[in-house]
């Protein structure tokens, strides 16, 4: 009468165990860990405002700025998330009109990004502060959520399905439903 135990296969056990572990991990809020780079560059007084504007837009933090002896340049040391560092040098050159040197980027540290990528406003107060759920396909707000933005960037770069965008598959095979007579 114990035929049920004989019908269980190893694959069924592994699948059940995998889904159990996945559900256990998803009970806690998810957090991403991002790498930060330390950048060192030189700027004149004229380019300092545009430098701070670019760094604050990319979530950078100035650690130290000091005058270089014998020159009118300021040496700026800052940290910036690695994902925000792509295209930094051309943007600095463009915004400062060449008043800022190209940054030297060196890995600095890891930091937990304290945003839940799958957070949804549930209470009335949260809905007033953050708005209703946007219809992005995944029921998350997506409002200024850098963790969700990074997840979507990685998924699209790897060719995986991204919830917030519609992907056209085989566009050359599509046709209109109405026919001209």
- For 72-127, the pLDDT digits (tens) are 889 999 999 998 888 889 998 998 888 888 889 999 999 998 888 877 777 888 77
Helix, coil or strand: residue 105: strand
Tokens 């809020």 correspond to 29
* pLDDT score for 137: 43
Distance (Å, rounded) from C-alpha 179 to C-alpha 181? 6
* pLDDT score for 118: 77
pLDDT in tens, 122-175: 788 877 776 665 544 445 555 677 888 888 888 888 988 876 555 566 666 666
Distance (Å, rounded) from C-alpha 113 to C-alpha 151? 12
* pLDDT score for 102: 86
Better pLDDT: 53 or 120: 53
Neighbours of 60 (CB within 10 A): 21
End-to-end CA distance of the chain: 69
* pLDDT score for 135: 45
């Amino acid at each position: 009468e114990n035929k049920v135990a004989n019908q269980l296969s190893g694959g069924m056990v592994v699948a059940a165990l995998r889904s159990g572990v996945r559900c256990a991990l998803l009970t806690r809020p998810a957090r991403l860990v991002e790498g930060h780079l330390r950048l060192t560059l030189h700027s004149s007084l004229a380019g300092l405002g545009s430098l701070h504007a670019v760094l604050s837009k990319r979530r950078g933090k100035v650690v130290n700025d000091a005058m270089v002896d014998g020159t009118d340049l300021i040496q700026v040391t800052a940290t910036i998330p690695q994902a925000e560092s792509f295209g930094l040098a051309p943007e600095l050159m463009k915004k400062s009109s060449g008043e800022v040197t190209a940054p030297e980027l060196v890995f600095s540290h890891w930091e937990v990004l304290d945003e839940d990528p799958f957070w949804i406003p549930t209470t009335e107060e949260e809905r007033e502060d953050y708005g209703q759920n946007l219809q992005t396909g995944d029921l998350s707000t997506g409002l200024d959520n850098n963790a969700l933005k990074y997840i979507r960037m990685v998924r699209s770069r790897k060719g995986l399905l991204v919830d917030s965008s519609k992907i056209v598959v085989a566009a050359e095979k599509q046709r209109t439903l109405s026919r001209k007579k």
